[in-house]
């Protein structure tokens, strides 16, 4: 008899099937390389700046804090009252002198933490793995080609950076420092600032929301993903971190 692989279930959204075993004969995912040296570009436009409507500046929880004087930290409460995407060109931004070409925003959080809702309330259409599965395979639940999906997603972001699009959003779990590193490295290589939106939502709240979804993740996999989740830190290369929390978590 053939022996079955005893590999643990994959909980990484960007490298394989969530909650399913990876077959030993599956080819390695395609991983694009991004040059460290980027050709010189024409003078960069003025730095875009996010509006901060409906945002309350509160101290982060005692169990998670960001290093001081290394970046900007904001805290939001769900639901956020921002109906439109941020506009560029805030002359009052003190960081405008640095003149980055634009911003790449990474969402970080468990399934059910409110990432898609957060983008929807701002009228933003982010680059997302579900969107790409629908385009490539006519099925947002297709899980056989995760490596291909995420290498293509990174290529799409790279195309936007080459085209000098000022605001770029990535909707994925981005649980670990390793999963976030490629996005950050590419953005910085093109002269873009990187922001994190961390959905600091209790696991039990995410589990309850997940149960109500048409496409739910098993509770066991959700708990493993929660163990893997690492809050973003300025040391990773983020210039700004926004923490989003539920108003009355139960």
Question: Which residues fall within 8 angstroms of residue 5, CB to CB, at 6 or more apart?
Answer: 21, 22, 23, 24
Here the tokens at position 41 are 């570009």
pLDDT for the residue 35: 52
Instruction: Give the global pTM.
Output: 0.64
- State the Cα–Cα distance between residues 174 and 181, nearest whole angstrom: 9
Q: Number of C-alpha atoms within 13 angstroms, CB side, residue 72?
A: 16
> How sure is the predictor about 196, in pLDDT bands with cuts at 50, 70 and 90?
very high
Question: Residue 149, exposed/middle/buried by CB under 10 A (0-12, 13-18, 19+)?
Answer: buried
The sheet carrying 167-171 orders its strands as 72-78, 240-246, 193-199, 103-108, 167-171, 127-128
Instruction: Using CA atoms of 216, 222, 225, 229 in order, give the dihedral in degrees to the nearest 10.
Output: 100
End-to-end Cα, the chain, rounded Å: 49
> How sure is the predictor about 53, in pLDDT bands with cuts at 50, 70 and 90?
very low
pLDDT digits (tens, 9 = 90+) for 102-148: 999 999 999 999 999 999 999 999 999 888 888 998 887 777 888 89
- State the Cα–Cα distance between residues 74 and 244, nearest whole angstrom: 9
Which stretch of 75-84, 156-165, 171-180, 198-207 has the lowest confidence by average pLDDT? 75-84
Mean pLDDT of 222-236: 95
pLDDT digits (tens, 9 = 90+) for 71-102: 788 887 765 444 344 444 444 444 445 578 89
- State the Cα–Cα distance between residues 7 and 23, nearest whole angstrom: 9
């Amino acid at each position: 008899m053939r022996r079955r692989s005893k590999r643990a279930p994959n909980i990484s959204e960007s490298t394989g099937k969530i909650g399913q075993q990876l077959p030993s004969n599956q080819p390695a995912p395609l991983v694009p390389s991004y040059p460290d040296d980027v050709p010189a570009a024409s003078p960069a436009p003025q730095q875009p700046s996010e509006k901060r409507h409906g945002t309350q500046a509160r101290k982060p929880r005692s169990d998670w804090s960001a290093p001081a004087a290394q970046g900007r930290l904001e805290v939001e409460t769900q639901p956020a009252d921002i109906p439109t995407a941020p506009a560029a060109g805030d002359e009052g931004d003190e960081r405008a002198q640095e003149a980055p070409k634009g911003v790449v925003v990474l969402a970080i959080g468990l399934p059910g933490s409110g990432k898609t809702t957060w983008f929807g309330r701002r009228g933003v259409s982010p680059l997302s793995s579900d969107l790409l599965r629908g385009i490539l395979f006519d099925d947002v639940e297709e899980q056989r080609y995760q490596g291909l999906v995420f290498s293509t997603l990174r290529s799409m972001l790279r195309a936007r950076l080459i085209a000098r699009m000022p605001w770029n959003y990535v909707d994925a779990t981005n649980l670990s420092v390793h999963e976030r590193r490629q996005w950050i490295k590419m953005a910085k290589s093109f002269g873009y600032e990187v922001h994190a939106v961390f959905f600091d939502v209790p696991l039990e709240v995410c589990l309850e929301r997940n149960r109500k979804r048409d496409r739910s993740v098993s509770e066991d996999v959700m708990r493993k993903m929660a163990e893997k989740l690492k809050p973003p830190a300025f040391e990773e290369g983020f210039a700004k971190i926004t923490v989003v929390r539920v108003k009355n978590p139960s």
